[in-house]
């Protein structure tokens, strides 16, 4: 049940009618139960069998949380966390990585002329498992750190795990902020309906007009059968940067808008990432819920690890922690070596920026025009670093990656480049114009503050583009495969 389909629109409308009817009666618990049933119905639309998997994961972490509340001794608390880690990462590892590691092992033994049987080659990846697994793990970690009190209502906790707007591809919510919204009464008013409706509308536009149309160009360049020219490779990589951003942020906007219609506030997952000035700034703007998850639960513990600090200086420990963390971020994205390489690349540019930061500070201009020009230069450099990383991310294999890199070496024909850049620029122009307005006002919902006539004109224009240029058929979102 894709967000960009009439089936989901009908499903959401039915949920809203039932939700508002229960609100009139002041039945907060009944609203939660209805949303839980709706969430499992939503998830079962992909494969009903995987509902048993999410129920099992939910039950394990619910009881681990309850036991942690009563456990006082550190060894016992650590054993309980180990149970949660073993179960959750065991399930994630089997369904997501068993086939990958099995094939990698077969390839390794094949180098020595040893044939191994194929194992776990037909394992189906449950949709959303990477997201809800991290969400339940954060709940256990926060109880262990005594940052949150476990809920005693299993069904409320189940709704925290399976809430349908963000179940499949996030944002990855934290119990500290989202669970209280489930436990307390929520209010729905016109302001929430207005802003939630705009988020859904804008998210649909980004997905069906920009992302799905750019996908045709990107697939043409990155297909196994293609031999793209340097211009085609470069423009195709630019196009993929905007495609994946509009696809993923479009999903997030629809998720946040749908939740807001029911009185929930999901966390922000994107904040104008193409305006980033450096690698750390980029990850404060792109997939924020994932980057902060790895920062809080992987990077920080590694940085303060007694094992690492006993063997290395503090600076080396931090650099090693960055590389380990971002290699894991890459692996989280998928069972392929290209994702591991992409994660390592992100770690390298973060380490390089940290090492060069004193130099960058010294050469930073002091005058206002100089600072503006310097910011523009840094922004452009970061955009190209991002695009290079996404070229690695999009490659189907390491062999294909080497071919793509070779294609970028030139020569470039200016006239031919213009014919490829024109459709790309036409599609992304509305996005860039609104992003610039958001950046200048430092308000991601600045559109809602515009005069009624301006807003109406914008809605009509975007609606016209959705009808005339939007891709039919409900194309899957890219992050559904993760």
- From the candidates 28, 333, 353, 404, which is the catalytic residue? 333
**How far is CA 104 from each of CA 109, 190, 224, 239, 336, rounded to the nearest angstrom?**
9, 54, 21, 31, 9
The C-alpha angle 385, 391, 395, rounded to 5 degrees, equals 155
Question: Could you tell me how many residues make up the chain?
Answer: 482
Give the integer Cα–Cα distance in Å for 210 and 471.
9
Backbone angles phi, psi at 379, to 5 degrees: -60, -45
Torsion of CA 375, 248, 211, 467, to 10 degrees: -120
- CA-based nearest residue to 33, from 154, 136, 147: 154
Helices and strands per DSSP (H, E), number in the chain: 22, 0
DSSP-H helix ranges across 334-365: 337-363
Residues 6+ apart with CB under 8 A from 64: 80, 81, 83, 84, 140
Give the integer Cα–Cα distance in Å for 420 and 53.
46
**How far is CA 262 from each of CA 38, 88, 223, 368, rounded to the nearest angstrom?**
13, 30, 41, 45
Catalytic, 287? Answer no
Residues 6+ apart with CB under 8 A from 277: 375, 378, 379, 382
Give the integer Cα–Cα distance in Å for 92 and 179.
23
Residues 6+ apart with CB under 8 A from 18: 34, 38
Which residues have a catalytic role annotated?
A: 333
């Amino acid at each position: 049940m894709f967000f960009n389909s009439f089936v989901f629109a009908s499903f959401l409308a039915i949920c809203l009618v039932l939700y508002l009817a229960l609100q009139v009666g002041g039945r907060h618990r009944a609203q939660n139960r209805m949303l839980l049933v709706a969430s499992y119905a939503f998830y079962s639309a992909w494969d009903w069998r995987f509902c048993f998997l999410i129920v099992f994961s939910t039950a394990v972490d619910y009881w681990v949380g309850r036991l942690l509340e009563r456990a006082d001794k550190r060894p016992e608390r650590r054993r309980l966390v180990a149970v949660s880690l073993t179960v959750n990462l065991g399930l994630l590892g089997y369904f997501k990585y068993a086939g990958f590691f099995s094939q990698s092992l077969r390839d390794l033994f094949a180098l020595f002329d040893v044939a191994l049987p194929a194992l776990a080659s037909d394992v189906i990846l449950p949709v959303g498992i990477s997201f809800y697994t991290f969400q339940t793990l954060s709940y256990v970690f926060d109880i262990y750190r005594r940052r949150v009190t476990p809920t005693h209502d299993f069904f409320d906790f189940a709704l925290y795990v399976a809430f349908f707007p963000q179940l499949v591809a996030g944002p990855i919510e934290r119990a500290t902020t989202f669970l209280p919204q489930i436990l307390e009464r929520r209010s729905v008013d016109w302001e929430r309906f207005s802003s939630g409706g705009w988020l859904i509308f804008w998210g649909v536009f980004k997905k069906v007009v920009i992302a799905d149309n750019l996908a045709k160009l990107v697939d043409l360049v990155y297909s196994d059968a293609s031999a793209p020219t340097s211009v085609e490779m470069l423009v195709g990589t630019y196009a993929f940067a905007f495609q994946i951003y509009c696809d993923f942020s479009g999903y997030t906007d629809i998720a946040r808008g749908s939740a807001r219609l029911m009185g929930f506030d999901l966390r922000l997952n994107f904040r104008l990432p193409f305006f980033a000035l450096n690698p750390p700034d980029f990850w404060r703007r792109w997939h924020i819920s994932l980057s902060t998850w790895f920062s809080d639960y992987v990077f920080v513990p590694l940085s303060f690890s007694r094992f690492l600090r006993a063997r290395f200086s503090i600076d080396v420990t931090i650099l090693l922690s960055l590389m380990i963390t971002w290699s894991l971020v890459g692996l989280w994205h998928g069972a392929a070596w290209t994702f591991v390489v992409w994660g390592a690349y992100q770690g390298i540019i973060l380490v390089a920026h940290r090492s060069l930061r004193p130099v960058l500070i010294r050469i930073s201009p002091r005058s206002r025009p100089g600072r503006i020009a310097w910011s523009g230069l840094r922004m452009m450099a970061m955009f190209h670093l991002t695009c290079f990383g996404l070229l690695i991310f999009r490659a189907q294999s390491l062999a294909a990656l080497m071919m793509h890199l070779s294609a970028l070496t030139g020569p470039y024909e200016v006239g031919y480049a213009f014919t490829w850049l024109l459709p790309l620029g036409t599609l992304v122009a509305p996005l860039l114009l609104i992003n610039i307005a958001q950046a200048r006002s430092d308000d991601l919902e600045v559109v809602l503050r515009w005069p009624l006539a301006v807003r109406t004109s914008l809605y009509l224009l975007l609606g016209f583009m959705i009808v005339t240029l939007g891709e039919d058929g409900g194309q899957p979102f890219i992050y559904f495969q993760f």
